[in-house]
Amino acid sequence: MGAEERDRDGSIAALKKVAAQFAVSVTPHLQAQIDPADPKDPIARQFLPDAAELVTHEHERTDPIGDEAHSPVAGIVHRYPDRVLLKLVNVCPVYCRFCFRREMVGPGSKGLGAEQLDAAIDYIARHPAIWEVILTGGDPLIVSPRRLKDVIERLNAIPHLGVIRIHSRVPVVDPARINDEMVAALKSGDKAVWLLLHANHAREFVPEAVAAIRRLVDAGIPVLGQSVLLRGVNDSPAALTDLFRTMVANRVKPHYLHHGDLARGTSHFRLSLEEGQQLMRRLRGHTSGLLQPTYILDIPGGHGKVPVGPAYAEPREDGSWTVSDPWGCSHHYDDPAVG
């Protein structure tokens, strides 16, 4: 056996170890988007397993954002007073290699049974401070339109709810699921339904994905974008500009750019906060305000999301401010509201 064959066998063995720890699935739609001749293909990097996932660091966690500590009943995460996550399922059509819930999702992971779903909806109904329910998982749009319609109708019957939010990758990873039945299910109640689309690279917006997004927006469902800052995928001003321009051109407003969570085996994707802030500075002033998401850190341990973008204004002892413009020049500002 030659060195090349041994290396190949070692790589295959490593990938088998990755698959034994973390779920792997790539839809036929995504498989068709991968360029096998490009070793830096941004689609492949997001979805194909990598031996680097076997490397874990002391600071990485099995539950990096503290879901479990804020789960009063199965399927509910209640971290903020006015909103809850409702995790219908723990499976997805694809498994992102950087997923912060990678320890909890995958084949064999159980979704909510009938009694558990009843208990979860009852919890929401018994807490009038809850104004927003966020369907997540797993990916909630992997369920059938019939089941999704049932859940949305039951949530619509809770008077104090104002908004139902859906977090999904489906429109860009399995766009055929966004058919007339799915759209009808999303519109089956009177409460506002918003969809947060997870996409990380402009190449995800192929014609089939664009058509799925158009179907949602034309049906009156507002679509926001959320992305994860990923080394080797979108860690340059050009890549982020292309991504956010593509979103906005397809009527998707960039909402969040997430700093990478401390999930096990994901260090090869993670940038420093300083690198992320510098990238956000490069966007400000060079691209439309429509393209500016909030750069967000989900504080490890379940302490919530906070903006961590660069600061442009610093106070001075005399009550005035030093303000930086988008091109890095400093300016003096006398605050007229200060006596």
Residues 272, 323 within the same domain: no
Q: Does 186 share its domain with 206?
A: yes
Question: For residue 15, is it within any domain?
Answer: no
pLDDT in tens, 147-182: 999 999 999 999 999 999 999 999 999 999 999 999
**Which pLDDT value is given to residue 110?**
73
Q: Are residues 331 and 297 in the same domain?
A: no
2 within some domain: no
CA angle (46, 223, 198) in 5-degree steps: 10
Domain match, 120 and 102 both: yes
pLDDT above 80 for 230: yes
| Mean of per-residue pLDDT scores for the chain | 93
pLDDT(339) > 80: no
pLDDT digits (tens, 9 = 90+) for 190-202: 999 999 999 999 9
| Percent of the chain topping pLDDT 90 | 84
Is residue 297 domain-resident?
Answer: yes
CATH number at residue 115: 3.20.20.70
State how far the Cα of 301 lies from the Cα of 117, in Å rounded to an integer: 26
Within-domain flag for 137: yes
Question: 336 and 238 in one domain?
Answer: no
Based on the fold, state whether residues 272 and 325 are members of the same structural domain: no
Amino acid residing at 87: K
| Preceding peptide of 138 cis, ω within 30° | yes
**Whole-number percent of the chain with pLDDT over 70:** 96
pTM, whole model, 2 decimals?
0.92
SS3 293: coil
Domain count, the chain: 2
Does 101 score more than 80 pLDDT?
yes
Over residues 123-138, mean pLDDT? 96
Least confident of 41-45, 240-244, 305-309, 332-336: 332-336
- 21 belongs to a structural domain: no
Do 254 and 285 reside in the same domain of the chain? yes
pLDDT at 267 over 50: yes
For residue 220, the model assigns a pLDDT of 97
Domain that residue 253 falls in: 28-308
pLDDT score of 73: 96
Q: Quick check: is 69 in a domain?
A: yes
Convert the pLDDT of each residue in 49-100 to its tens digit: 999 999 999 999 898 888 888 999 999 999 999 999 999 999 999 999 999 9
Domain assignment present for 130: yes
In our burial notation (b when 16+ CB lie closer than 10 A, e otherwise), range 239-273 reads bbbbbbbbbbebebebbbbbbbbbbbbbbbbbbee
289 three-class SS: helix
* Residues with active-site annotation: 79-80, 83, 92, 96, 99, 101, 261, 298, 305
- 141 and 170 both lie in a single domain: yes
Domain co-membership, 90 together with 178: yes
DSSP one-letter string for 92-155: -SS--TT-TTTTT-STT-----HHHHHHHHHHHHT-TT--EEEEESS-GGGS-HHHHHHHHHHH
